[in-house]
């Protein structure tokens, strides 16, 4: 026959302790799941969305719901609200700019006259600039012509000076050679020059003849440096007369030196003077003559 036994005191005590522990664990778990006891999550920062290198993936990864003390659904709701807010701000900005654009268009109505006035003023300024440009071009051409004329005059002055120097030097050489008449004062000056020189009369006359030949050669070089000029063409007869006189003086000096047969060096100097005047043939002819 079955019998019912009351639990012993020890068993009762053990069961009571076990029940109490289980109840305590359940209370602790409920306390952990109760979000009302957690701090409120921080609001999403607006500046994070404005960063130049904003990356949605990294940004969402950084938003850990557990570290924010926020459920995933609440985070989604927060992000959705922030997106709607940004869209509304963008729409307000577009509408504001569009209204400003419409106001600008209305304010520009009736400005055709002002635009036409500005256009006419611009055309007038363009015509004035063109007139100034033409005047500057004319002045530039005029200045270029004047500068060219100045260069021509300067060149003519230089040529004139060179021709005058040739004329004066040729005139002086003609006087010294006795081709043209000279005053007594110039003859006295030449005689004084001969008296101041040392040596025999033959040596003095030879040195004077050398100077005459050098002056003639210098005149020919000056003539070569001047461009072909009618004045020089007119002086060719004078040059020919001077050369003829010099050759006669050289011939006389060479015959005199040859006749003496005592100074071969003097004969050689006279032959060199013939060579400077490109008349070696005349010297050879005189030396070969009996």
Which residue ranges make up each domain of the chain?
161-180+200-289
Neighbours of 176 (CB within 10 A): 18
**Residue 262 pLDDT:** 59
Q: Identify which has the larger pLDDT, 47 or 35.
A: 47
- Distance of alpha carbon 68 from alpha carbon 104, whole angstroms: 48
Mean pLDDT on 146-171? 91
pLDDT at 12 over 50: no
pLDDT in tens, 168-190: 999 999 999 998 876 655 555 55
**Residue 37 pLDDT:** 57
pLDDT at 148 over 80: yes
Q: Predicted confidence band at 165 (pLDDT cuts at 50, 70, 90)?
A: very high
Mean pLDDT on 67-92? 80
**Residue 49 pLDDT:** 73
Length of the chain, in residues: 290
Are 279 and 270 in contact by the 8 Å Cβ rule? The answer is no
- Distance of alpha carbon 253 from alpha carbon 257, whole angstroms: 6
Q: Identify which has the larger pLDDT, 56 or 127.
A: 127
* Most confident residue range from 83-87, 187-191, 218-222: 218-222
Q: Which range (18-22, 60-64, 186-190, 193-197) has the least confidence?
A: 18-22
- Distance of alpha carbon 66 from alpha carbon 72, whole angstroms: 9
pLDDT in tens, 240-257: 999 999 999 999 988 888
* Assigned token pair, 197: 């020189």
Are 267 and 232 in contact by the 8 Å Cβ rule? The answer is no
Q: Identify which has the larger pLDDT, 16 or 124.
A: 124
pLDDT at 233 over 70: yes
Secondary structure in 3-state letters for 67-96: CCCCCHHHHHHHHHHHHHHHHHHHHHHHHH
* Most confident residue range from 93-107, 118-132, 184-198: 118-132
């Amino acid at each position: 026959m079955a019998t019912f036994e009351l639990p012993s005191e020890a068993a009762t005590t053990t069961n009571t302790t076990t029940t109490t522990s289980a109840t305590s664990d359940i209370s602790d778990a409920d306390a952990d799941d109760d979000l009302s006891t957690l701090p409120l999550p921080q609001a999403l920062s607006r500046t994070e969305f404005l960063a130049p290198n904003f990356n949605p993936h990294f940004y969402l990864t950084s938003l850990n719901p557990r570290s924010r003390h926020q459920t995933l659904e609440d985070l989604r709701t927060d992000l959705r609200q922030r997106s709607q807010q940004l869209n509304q701000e963008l729409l307000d900005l577009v509408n504001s700019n569009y209204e400003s654009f419409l106001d600008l268009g209305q304010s520009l109505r009736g400005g055709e006259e002002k635009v036409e006035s500005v256009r006419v003023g611009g055309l007038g300024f363009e015509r004035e600039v063109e007139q100034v440009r033409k005047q500057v071009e004319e002045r530039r051409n005029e200045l270029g012509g004047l500068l060219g004329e100045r260069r021509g005059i300067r060149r003519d002055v230089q040529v004139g000076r060179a021709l005058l120097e040739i004329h004066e030097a040729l005139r002086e050489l003609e006087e010294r050679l006795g081709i043209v008449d000279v005053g007594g004062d110039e003859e006295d000056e030449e005689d004084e020059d001969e008296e101041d020189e040392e040596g025999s009369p033959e040596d003095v006359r030879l040195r004077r003849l050398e100077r005459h030949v050098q002056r003639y050669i210098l005149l020919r070089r000056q003539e070569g440096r001047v461009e072909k000029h009618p004045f020089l063409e007119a002086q060719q007869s004078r040059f020919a007369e001077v050369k003829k006189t010099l050759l006669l003086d050289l011939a006389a000096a060479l015959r005199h030196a040859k006749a003496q047969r005592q100074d071969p060096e003097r004969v050689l100097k006279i032959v060199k003077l013939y060579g400077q005047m490109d008349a070696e043939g005349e010297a050879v002819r005189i030396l070969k003559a009996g």
